[in-house]
Structure 1
Amino acid sequence: MIRLIPTVTPEEAVRELYEASFPLEEKRPWDSLSELLKHDRLRLLTLDKEGVFGGFLFYWQLPDYFFIEYFAVHPDMRGGGTGSHVMRLLEEQTGGIVLEVEPPLTAQAVRRIAFYERLGYQAFPEVYHQPPHHKGFPPLELRLMQKGLTPGETFLQVKNQLYKYVYKQP
């Protein structure tokens, strides 16, 4: 059985998986992530399977939906339905969910997009640029996917909420 639990996993296990799972241009510096958690702006759920660390999910509770910023399953637990199970558990506890994915330019990105599509997520057709997490880096071209948003919620409304609350952009 997989459980989503508030952060009880040693910080080092989360950090190690975080560092290994995302390219530099997509990652916030760890100190920045820690500050957001400390001030309860960003939240962290860890995955626990029979007492063993299985991964994590960093998310924001925004006014109109939840935004998943980082989601990673430990390599030892991939391929057995863990990711799908976690997403379904989260969907039961929330309303709409928004997340970012890379454009479908690599095999890994195509698999990731297909994973979310199998769960019922839909991509907005518009191109989205994530503000950079590191000085001197350009904005990162990504795609936004969503499930369960209020009908009529537009790409621009979603993007504006992300820029305002997550990235502190005007």
Structure 2
Amino acid sequence: MLVLLDEDGPAGFALVRDLPETRWTFLRYYAVGRRGRGTGSTMWGQLTARLAADGRTRLIWDVEDPDEAGLSPELVDEHRRRIVFYERLGGRLQPVRDYLPPHDDGHAPQLLLMDVPLADEPDPPLRVLVETVYLRRYGVPATDPVVRRTLLASDL
């Protein structure tokens, strides 16, 4: 867990998890308490710089899909603003569809997958990115129906 402190105290935090047997890190949670003051951008820069300095080469995370059926206009707007925030800071929305945590009990939100490179190295094939997240983040192998569903829906 990384906490950003400013003159007013805790301003935000990020919870990350290195993905075993890779140099990639999964962003589990990112929260900023003070919006509109550049805090989120500052914290993002510090987070990615620290991960890169630690030899991590990619940061991966998921975001709620603004196109999920049944969302209120306020949630659609919030989800879109979050994606735009990450894209402004270099995040890339990956063309992955039907991506759901394998522990979904039917109540989890529809998710999208994002990443940002932290080092100058070639991007992995999208299929490798998806399979690695499922295996190293969730412990689910590529042969599992959850992973197969995502790969098929994403034309991988």
Aligned counterparts of 1:128 and 1:162: Cα–Cα separation in 2: 14
Equivalents in 1 of 2:23, 2:86: separation in Å? 20
Query: 1:113 — aligned with what?
Result: 83
Q: Which residue of 2 aligns with 1:82?
A: 39
For 1:58 and 1:146, the matched residues in 2 are separated by 15
What are the ranges of 5 or more consecutive residues in structure 1 without an aligned counterpart? Answer: 1-43
Q: Is the 8 A contact 2:91 2:115 kept in 1?
A: yes
Query: Which letter maps to 2:64?
Result: E
| Residues 30-45 of structure 1 mapped to structure 2, 5 A cutoff | 44-45=1-2
SS in 1 for 2:99: strand
Contact 1:102-1:142 at 8 Å conserved across structures? yes
Name the residue aligned to 1:68.
Answer: 27
- Cα distance in 1 between the residues matched to 2:107 and 2:101: 8
Per-residue CA deviation, residues 64-115 of structure 1 (Å, 9 max, x unaligned), is 31111110111xx111111111111122122321111112330001100110
TM-score by length of 2: 0.70
- 1:57 is the counterpart of 2:57: no
CA distance in 2, matches of 1:103, 1:125: 12
**1:157 equivalent in alignment to 2:139:** no
User: How large is the Cα RMSD of the aligned pairs?
Assistant: 2.1
| Structure 2: gaps spanning 5 or more residues | 68-75, 142-156
Runs of 4+ in 1 over 2 A off after TM superposition: 136-141
Matched residues, percent identical?
33
Give 1:91's aligned amino acid.
Answer: T
* Alignment check: 8 A CA contact 1:129 1:140 kept: no
- Distance in structure 1 (CA, Å) of the matches to 2:91 and 2:10: 26
CA distance in 2, matches of 1:87, 1:59: 12
Query: What is the CA–CA distance in structure 1 between the aligned matches of 2:40 and 2:99, rounded to whole Å?
Result: 25
Q: Deviations over 1:32-77 (max 9, x none)?
A: xxxxxxxxxxxx1122113612221111112131111110111xx1
User: 1:148 maps to which residue?
Assistant: 117
Match for residue 101 of structure 1 among 58, 63, 71 = 63
Q: Distance in 2 between matches of 1:157 and 1:141?
A: 21
Counterparts of 1:128 and 1:72, CA distance in 2? 25
| Equivalent residue, structure 1, for 2:48 | 91
Does structure 1 conserve the Cα–Cα contact (< 8 Å) formed by 2:62 and 2:111?
A: yes
Aligned pair in 2 of structure 1 residues 131, 89: CA closer, same or farther (>3 Å)?
Answer: same
